[in-house]
Amino acid sequence: MPERLWEALWDLWTPLLILWITLLPPCVYSAPTTPAPALMSGSRLELSRLSEEQRVLNRSKRGWVWNQMFVLEEFSGPEPILVGRLHTDLDPGSKKIKYILSGDGAGTIFQINDITGDIHAIKRLDREEKAEYTLTAQAVDFETNKPLEPPSEFIIKVQDINDNAPEFLNGPYHATVPEMSILGTSVTNVTATDADDPVYGNSAKLVYSILEGQPYFSIEPETAIIKTALPNMDREAKEEYLVVIQAKDMGGHSGGLSGTTTLTVTLSDVNDNPPKFAQSLYHFSVPEDVVLGTAIGRVKANDQDIGENAQSSYDIIDGDGTAIFEITSDAQAQDGVLRLRKPLDFETKKSYTLKVEAANVHVDPRFSGRGPFKDTATVKIVVEDADEPPVFSSPTYLLEVHENAALNSVIGQVTARDPDITASPIRFSIDRHTDLERQFNINADDGKITLATPLDRELSVWHNITIIATEIRNHSQISRVPVAIKVLDVNDNAPEFASEYEAFLCENGKPGQVIQTVSAMDKDDPKNGHYFLYSLLPEMVNNPNFTIKKNEDNSLSILAKHNGFNRQKQEVYLLPIVISDSGNPPLSSTSTLTIRVCGCSSDGVVQSCNVEAYVLPIGLSMGALIAILACIILLLVIVVLFVTLRRHKNEPLIIKDDEDVRENIIRYDDEGGGEEDTEAFDIATLQNPDGINGFLPRKDIKPDLQFMPRQGLAPVPNGVDVDEFINVRLHEADNDPTAPPYDSIQIYGYEGRGSVAGSLSSLESATSDSDQNFDYLSDWGPRFKRLGELYSVGESDKET
């Protein structure tokens, strides 16, 4: 305590002492004869203050020679403040020496009296802006400005005063501390800054304190560490605290400057509260026909904690409906959802009682002593009666019927009942979408299924239909059940060859050689599998050429009895084989095997089976013969094409004189214009093309000129000379190198009017079908008689 007191007194008197020294009258201190070591570079220039008394008394005293001066900041007197005086021992006082000042602030901040050497501060100084100034002084001749000695450098330091308050640069602050923390738990620390000189005095020595926020929090005065001042602060009681913090300089003593900031402290949540149901008993009602998985109610246990600390899991721990109901946790709503797990039946049980538990998911072991973090509640569920659809005695039915069952025979029965107390009668029907061919019927009263059409197992083994049960009193209550009908096999199909077989017998074959191996198939499906018996027809048991042999794999081998078969004598043999099954009763069929005699090589490879092969040259194969024939046919085609082209080339391009164009049949696909069509050719002109204007007919030549189409002429009106028109057209055609020699295509732009024969077109026919008599079609023969009757009937219908 005494140390703090002395420190406070020193901080208080130090600035007052400096101010008193500054305001003293200027004193001149005589420099010693030998320059002091403090002078820079051996300069003779001295910084001194000599009092007037010392100058009069002329006492000999050791002088103070400095290389720095001091000046207080923020001095604002009426006159410039005297900082110090420059003096050299070369100055006899005759005013022949002039002092020059240069450096930082010379002339602007600091001003020197060039005769006396007094330095004054002419501006207000701020140490926080600039703490020191480096200046250079020199003594020169007043008249010549010649340096009398080398320049000397010195420093003017700005002495600090407490003119800046502490500041919290990062405020306001926010911090978080868990609730229920122990006493002295660190919350955060804050820092303030002071622009004053931290070295000189206590202007920048800060002390921290709390102005608001007690008694919950405390602060270290020097480190500014904030701690909890109370233990077990509860977030559920108060979550947020506002703390006002002060930083004061001058060590916190009176007269110091201060600054404040705020700190918002938030208590974070911990799991220190168990869940609690809002009520101990819950009631729910649910219809008995509710769909499985439907939510029937919600229960919620409230937890004062937040976030994951408030999460609870719900379970059914007891009751008579643990197998009927289930409960799931809704993480968003923080409640438990009751759902139906199995179907309900009002007629069987009308209510259920459940015991539900809610427990915290994340338990903090530090607070386990506060008791179990769980709670229980009772849930009563009442089942409401509903009109339910019929219930079948089985979810599916499997029926079996033989494929030869008689029509209208009963193949099975389905049963259903109304589970309601009213027990409505049931009516049965078949969903015809599952029985499109209507192969089955059902008795609407007792559910007996009968056969409507014959069955064939070989066409369809399974038939899947749906039976509908409908309440008679309420037709909207419908149930469906699938019924699978399996068709059982009976032996109604005889066996036959598995495929079309054709055997080949070599002429040079040996007796006992296997000619062909055949197998049989049966569309039936016996329980013990197929077993076939093979035999020859009774009249062919003693067949002199072939015999049969049953194999172990249910197949049959055909063997030759002798050799020396000759295809010229007999090319094909037919061998009927009787195949019987093992059914009850057994069925059989006769299949004929065709055996063809062929020529084979020495190793038994078939080469040819035709009798015509004998006429082929020896050593010439069938492939070579086919190649020769193909070449001959190709040569014949080439010769025919060549002759045809030569014939077309030698034909004349014009009509000979002895040929009459009227002997040729010319077919035109367009219709003429009648007598008024003046664009057609005159037949007389076509008969004698050589006599028109002396022009000779020309032959076809390949045109060297590009065809230039002439402008089309408009239709010619009546009264134009047709002969002159044709001659003009003929002249143009003869001089056109691209025109055909004797044929042309005429496009008729219009159809003539006034023809005696009338129009041949059916488009402008004004007559209707009713004006015609089709009786003459009967005279054309039997093929047209029916057509005539149809048209005659149509006409009679129109008249009717």
Q: What is the CATH number of the domain that holds 406?
A: 2.60.40.60
Mark whether 247 and 284 lie in a shared domain.
no
| Distance, CA of 149 to CA of 138 (rounded, Å) | 7
Cis omega (within 30 of 0) for bond into 585: yes
Is-contact 415 390, C-beta < 8 A?
Answer: no
Total domains in the chain come to 5
Residue 107 located in a structural domain: yes
Mark whether 107 and 124 lie in a shared domain.
yes
Mark whether 430 and 530 lie in a shared domain.
no
Q: Tokens 């050719």 correspond to what residue?
A: 681
Is-contact 324 352, C-beta < 8 A?
Answer: yes
- What pLDDT shows up at residue 187? 93
Mark whether 284 and 329 lie in a shared domain.
yes
| Distance, CA of 19 to CA of 13 (rounded, Å) | 10
| Distance, CA of 664 to CA of 648 (rounded, Å) | 18
Mark whether 348 and 402 lie in a shared domain.
no
Mark whether 397 and 480 lie in a shared domain.
yes
- What pLDDT shows up at residue 633? 94
At position 630, the amino acid (one-letter code) is A
Greatest Cα-to-Cα distance within the chain, rounded to the nearest angstrom: 183
User: Going by C-beta distance under 8 Å and a sequence separation of 6 or more, which residues neighbour residue 688?
Assistant: none
Residue 563 located in a structural domain: yes
Mark whether 259 and 236 lie in a shared domain.
yes
- What pLDDT shows up at residue 70? 79
pTM: 0.43
CA-based nearest residue to 182, from 146, 231, 115: 231
Q: Which of 225, 249, 268 is the last residue of a domain?
A: 268
Residue 430 located in a structural domain: yes
- What pLDDT shows up at residue 607? 77
| Distance, CA of 107 to CA of 121 (rounded, Å) | 10
Mark whether 511 and 604 lie in a shared domain.
yes
Mark whether 328 and 362 lie in a shared domain.
yes
Is-contact 489 403, C-beta < 8 A?
Answer: yes
- What pLDDT shows up at residue 799? 52
| Distance, CA of 148 to CA of 694 (rounded, Å) | 148
Q: Two tokens at 680? A: 């057609």
| Distance, CA of 50 to CA of 31 (rounded, Å) | 10
| Distance, CA of 119 to CA of 106 (rounded, Å) | 10
Q: Tokens 């050593």 correspond to what residue?
A: 619
CA-based nearest residue to 114, from 97, 92, 94, 91: 97
- What pLDDT shows up at residue 745? 53
Question: Other CB atoms closer than 10 Å to residue 85's CB: what's the count?
Answer: 22
Q: Which of 218, 240, 268 is the last residue of a domain?
A: 268
Q: Domain limits at 99?
A: 68-159
- What pLDDT shows up at residue 63? 32
Residue 677 located in a structural domain: no
Give the H or E element holding residue 6: helix 2-22
For the chain, which residues score pLDDT lower than 50?
Answer: 1-10, 12, 18-66, 613, 615-618, 655-659, 661-663, 685-687, 689-708, 711-714, 716, 742, 748-750, 755-767, 769-770, 800
Residue 740 located in a structural domain: no
Residue 649 located in a structural domain: no
Residue 143: alpha-carbon gap to chain centroid: 98
Q: Which of 427, 455, 488 is the last residue of a domain?
A: 488
Is-contact 214 263, C-beta < 8 A?
Answer: no
| Distance, CA of 455 to CA of 434 (rounded, Å) | 16
Mark whether 466 and 508 lie in a shared domain.
no
Phi-psi region of 41 (alpha: psi -120 to 50; beta: other; left: phi over 0): left
- What pLDDT shows up at residue 671? 56
| Distance, CA of 366 to CA of 355 (rounded, Å) | 29
Residue 724 located in a structural domain: no
Phi-psi region of 636 (alpha: psi -120 to 50; beta: other; left: phi over 0): alpha
